[in-house]
């Protein structure tokens, strides 16, 4: 069995892994795990990842979780172009610096709008308005820090070439944009960065990877989004409760 990727393209980290593999012509078997249908909670999937989360990479008997670790593994094993994960020690350290900051400041924050607009309502839970407003402010602050600390006057987040850091960031920022949040308004520098990354990846690949999230609001309005099974509700309720 060759390389297998367990993904749900509604998930930002899953999209980053999918786009990376496709862009670099890495052969893999797509194993779709539909989170909204509770497939990540199945006994079958738990044998792949006991944490019951995606993305997951399975390379023979080797199993790896966490999107940043998967991207680094793919970069190294398949010897992709050096700019993705530079061999230069300091350039590579800057990628790791961003990925560490991303996990604490971008990952959870920019995923909240999906819980507010789609996931919460699916299970009859309303996110309190004060939390919604606080999250909007947190996103604004994180964007400012993204520009001031990482992007600055550079073409990409860690230098003049695109890296896995840019891909991780783009997918997180795409989530609220797809849900009607205009994150890039009044931010020409960040807008230009997004355009550069998307141009590098190619419109066709971006559309392919983003189609699920771009259509989610319309699907929800038409009641076509599957309601998660009861066994998924406790973990979903806990996630909503943890929104700052």
How confident is the model over 185-205, as pLDDT tens digits?
999 999 999 999 999 999 999
pLDDT on residue 106: 97
> End-to-end CA distance of the chain, in Å?
43
For residues 86 and 75, give the distance between their C-alpha atoms in angstroms, rounded to a whole number.
Answer: 9
pLDDT on residue 35: 96
pLDDT band per the 50, 70, 90 thresholds, residue 97: very high
pLDDT on residue 65: 97
pTM comes to: 0.96
Structure tokens at 16: 């980053």
pLDDT on residue 188: 96
CB 190, CB 177: distance < 8 Å: no
147-179 pLDDT, tens digit each: 999 999 999 999 999 999 999 999 999 999 999
17: left (phi > 0), else alpha (psi -120 to 50), else beta?
Answer: alpha
Residue 52 scores a pLDDT above 90 = yes
Residue 58 scores a pLDDT above 80 = yes
Q: What are the residue ranges spanned by the domains of the chain?
A: 3-77, 89-241
221-234 pLDDT, tens digit each: 999 999 999 999 99
DSSP H helices in the chain: 12-23, 43-46, 67-77, 89-105, 112-114, 120-122, 129-145, 164-178, 188-201, 203-214, 216-221, 233-241
What architecture is domain 89-241?
Up-down Bundle (1.20)
Residue 1 scores a pLDDT above 80 = no
Cα–Cα distances (Å) from 81 to 22, 120, 127, 161, in that order, read 14, 41, 43, 11
Q: Which residues contact 222 (CB under 8 A, 6 or more apart)?
A: none
Write down the CATH number for the domain with range 3-77.
3.40.30.10
pLDDT on residue 139: 97
């Amino acid at each position: 069995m060759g390389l297998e990727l367990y993904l749900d393209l509604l998930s930002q980290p899953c999209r980053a892994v999918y786009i990376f593999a496709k862009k670099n012509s890495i052969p893999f078997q797509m194993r779709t795990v539909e989170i909204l249908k509770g497939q990540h909670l199945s006994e079958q999937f738990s044998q792949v990842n006991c944490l019951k989360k995606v993305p997951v990479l399975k390379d023979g008997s080797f199993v790896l979780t966490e999107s940043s670790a998967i991207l680094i593994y793919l970069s190294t094993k398949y010897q992709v172009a050096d700019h993705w994960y530079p061999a230069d020690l300091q350039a590579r350290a800057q990628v790791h610096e961003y990925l560490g900051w991303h996990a604490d400041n971008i990952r959870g924050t920019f995923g909240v709008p999906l819980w507010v607009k789609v996931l919460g309502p699916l299970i009859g839970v309303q996110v309190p308005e004060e939390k919604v407003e606080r999250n909007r402010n947190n996103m604004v602050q994180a964007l400012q820090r993204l520009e001031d600390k990482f992007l600055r006057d550079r073409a990409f987040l860690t230098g003049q070439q695109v890296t896995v850091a840019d891909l991780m960031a783009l997918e997180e920022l795409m989530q609220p944009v797809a849900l009607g949040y205009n994150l890039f308004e009044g931010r020409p520098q960040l807008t230009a960065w997004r355009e550069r990354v998307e141009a590098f990846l190619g419109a066709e690949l971006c559309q392919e990877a983003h189609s699920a999230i771009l259509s989610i609001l319309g699907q929800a309005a038409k009641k076509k989004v599957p309601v998660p099974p009861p066994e998924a509700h406790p973990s979903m309720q806990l996630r909503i409760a943890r929104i700052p």
